[in-house]
Amino acid sequence: MFEIITKFGPTLLEAMGKTLTMAFYSLIFASIIGLFFGVLAVVKSKICNIISQVFVDIIRGVPMIVLAYFVFFGIPYACKNMLGFNLTLSALEAGIICLSLNCGAYMAEIIRGGIQAVPKGQMEAARSLGLPYLTSMRQIILPQAIRTMIPSIINQFIITLKDTSILSIIGFPELVNSAKGVVALTFKSFQVWAIVGIMYLIIITILSKLAKVLERRLSYDRKR
């Protein structure tokens, strides 16, 4: 066990770093996507609502692994053979696209729910002061919605962090892929996978604790 840690520790840590990088970018893009489609789901426009719903349904209805193959192999193929130009996506880029879309769809649902949970009177009060719709959304509704959404958002972030492992199938050298390599060299699958498991566990535990702190910080009865 210790031998593996001393010998392959740096490799695994580097891979963990790649996992975190992929998760980090994905979460940022997913938040933007989620916010966009989440707001689209609540605005007073049937067309916008439907667009949002279709996006969410498609992403939710397709397994991540299929989405990954589609983005990594399917899209460059289509560009080359049907549209006539070359598009090369690195495994990292394809991974980030997949995770962002996937996490973004779930975020959209969380954000829609959070917005709808804010009492109607808040939007009415903001609008009757003469604030435009989007300003009211940004200043009044979203800050309140975020508070109720934090636990679900963190939960979704954790799922996305774990989902990075699915991207090992397109060859990105994140933690699971690197661990496979280490197992191939050492044959010590019990020890290696135990170490990898613990690494995930540590990161995710830290994230969860952070979420708890954040949640408490954001509650109304504490002064900022």
| The only residue of 53, 127, 151, 162 in contact with other proteins, by rule CB under 8 A | 127
90 binding other proteins? (CB under 8 A): no
Q: How far is the CB of 44 from other proteins (least distance, A)?
A: 11
With contacts defined by CB under 8 A, name the span among 4-12, 35-43, 123-131, 188-196 that binds other proteins. 123-131
Tokens of 112: 């829609």
Quick one: 6 or 219, whose CB is closer to other proteins?
219
Site size with other proteins, rule: CB under 8 A: 21
Helix or strand run (H / E) with residue 93: helix 91-117
Sign of CA dihedral 49, 145, 160, 155: negative
Q: Which of residues 57-76 bind other proteins (CB under 8 A)?
A: none
Quick one: 75 or 131, whose CB is closer to other proteins?
131
Q: Which of residues 192-221 bind other proteins (CB under 8 A)?
A: 220-221
d(CA 78, CA 39): 31
- Whether the CB-CB separation of 166 and 64 falls below 8 Å is answered with yes
- Grouping H, G, I as helix, E, B as strand and the rest as coil, residue 131 is coil
C-alpha dist (Å) from residue 216 to 150, 154, 210, 222:
10, 14, 10, 8
| The only residue of 54, 125, 184, 185 in contact with other proteins, by rule CB under 8 A | 125
d(CA 159, CA 80): 33
Quick one: 74 or 119, whose CB is closer to other proteins?
119
130 binding other proteins? (CB under 8 A): yes
With contacts defined by CB under 8 A, name the span among 9-17, 61-69, 122-130, 155-163 that binds other proteins. 122-130
Q: How far is the CB of 23 from other proteins (least distance, A)?
A: 29
CA torsion angle for 23, 27, 30, 35 (degrees, to 10)?
A: 170
32 binding other proteins? (CB under 8 A): no
Q: How far is the CB of 147 from other proteins (least distance, A)?
A: 8
Tokens of 104: 């973004």
CA neighbor of 140 nearest in space, from 122, 158, 157:
122
- Whether the CB-CB separation of 96 and 174 falls below 8 Å is answered with no
116 binding other proteins? (CB under 8 A): no
Q: Which of residues 133-162 bind other proteins (CB under 8 A)?
A: 135, 139-140, 143-144, 147
- Whether the CB-CB separation of 168 and 158 falls below 8 Å is answered with no
Binding site for other proteins (CB under 8 A): 119, 121-122, 124-132, 135, 139-140, 143-144, 147, 220-221, 223
